Amino acid sequence: MMCHYHEKADAAWKQSVHYNNNKSGVKTDCAACHLPPRGTFKHFTAKAKMGIKDIWSYMTKKKEDINWDRKGELDYAQKIVYNESCKACHANLFPKGISDDGIKAHLYYEENEKKFDLQCISCHLDAGHYNPNYKHSKMEGKALTNNSTKYEAAAIVTDFKNYKETVPGTAASIDMIAIPGGSFTIGSPDDEPFHQTDEAPQRRIAVSPFFMAEVEVTWDQFWAFYNETMSEGRTSPETIYANNSRDDLDAVSGPTPPFGFPDQGWGMGSRPAITMTHYAAETFCQWLSLKTGKRYRLPTEAEWEYAARGGTTTPYFFEGNPKKYTNEGFWNKLFGVDTTNINGYVVYANNSMDKTQEPSKVRANPFGLKNMLGNVMEYCADKYDAEAYKHWKDGDKDPLNEKGQEYVVRGGSYRDDASALRCATRGHTENDAWLKTDPQNPKSIWWYSDIKGIGFRVVCEIPEGIHIKQQ
């Protein structure tokens, strides 16, 4: 029943290369992919489990309440498509006519399958169910953006107040919010629900005034940067690093073309740009600084949490207890949770429909910032250290941790439970894991292949000559 209960999936299967739409004329049935190979013990146990789950879902769930799009996402597909079944049908990974890129990718797979737990479905998600938004090749040419009006000059900032940055030569603009300086307590107390050890000890930290983007960098803004700076795919990382670190830099070398559709087919425009690396985010800030004559950069971890809290001291900048919002726990799973308040402020697992959303979906925090919690994780300038706060002292001003391998990410994403969206929650990049299916050598320094919910927002340092009244 489950194979054809979802009409959209059934129709997509009939449009795919697995349904007689291939040169060989072979038609592959559902069980060939969604069960281990026939004749194996694992085939029968998996079939029994799937049947029980099928009956339970039929008895307890409403068809219209099931998020079918979510079940088409890669992380879910990996649970119901078996690598051994793929290899049983495709024993020869280097058939006649395979492209050079295909050879390179399959060699990488053979060498790293066990090391990185690589799955065939990671690169061939549309093989069994046709998806018009799936592209298995590099993006060509420039990205389409709104070019109706190109700005001639950057914004002139003379006062410490909100302003709209305009990027000369592009149609991109960024609404910047004036964040007053002050002191706050970073981290969370031991008794805060879902407190983690890397959120302690709490410290009283001073933060200088700065400007912060109202929302995460959007696709319109990121594509303006990409279109002006994109590099050829054969440009070596060493060449790019050398150019972008020059003291007399007048033009940055930007990203190489991404594979497929980096927006995942969800839409671009004002949605947050995603899947770029920390280096790509830093290079965007370099470009923006050169274009506007100001000093743009990523926020420090202290600046980020200070801005996210907006003067509040509770787990969220809005009212509510994480225990009441989380999906964890027997009673919450059984009876559900009251999402009335939290839904108005964050895009997360319970309301995102498993994709990013536009900023208009949420209300701002007390500082006027949107999506500080949820939607996408945001890069910070700091390197991650689980014991960072132990090295800080009460009264420290504008701390920045520069030691470590991975970078801090904050805010949680559209995939996360409410427990991971607390203002104090810390996270970090996982560079190797986020690049595990990238077959390039060297791997991309611009785009991640295995993470979707990552983006960034920019801050701007106060230009010289701006007088700020003491609070």
Where along the chain do its domains lie?
2-122, 163-460
- pLDDT at 46 (0 to 100): 81
- pLDDT at 141 (0 to 100): 66
- pLDDT at 333 (0 to 100): 77
- pLDDT at 140 (0 to 100): 66
Tokens of 127: 């093989």
- pLDDT at 390 (0 to 100): 98
Contact 278, 429 (CB under 8 A): yes
Low-confidence ranges of the chain (pLDDT < 50): 1
- pLDDT at 77 (0 to 100): 79
- pLDDT at 471 (0 to 100): 53
Q: Give strand pairing partners of 174.
A: 165
Residue 64 — φ and ψ, nearest 5°? -70, -15
Note the pLDDT tens digit of each residue in 24-58: 667 788 888 888 888 888 888 988 888 888 888 77
- pLDDT at 370 (0 to 100): 99
Note the pLDDT tens digit of each residue in 370-400: 999 999 999 999 999 999 999 999 999 999 9
- pLDDT at 401 (0 to 100): 98
Report the 10 Å Cβ neighbour count for 127: 21
CA 469 to chain centre: 37
- Measured between alpha carbons, how far is 196 from 188 in angstroms, rounded to an integer? 8
- pLDDT at 137 (0 to 100): 64
- Measured between alpha carbons, how far is 119 from 360 in angstroms, rounded to an integer? 36
- pLDDT at 125 (0 to 100): 78
Assigned CATH class of 163-460: alpha beta
The number of CA neighbours under 13 Å toward the Cβ of 59 is: 6
The DSSP bridge pattern shows strands 407-410 and 377-383 to be antiparallel
pTM of the shown model: 0.88
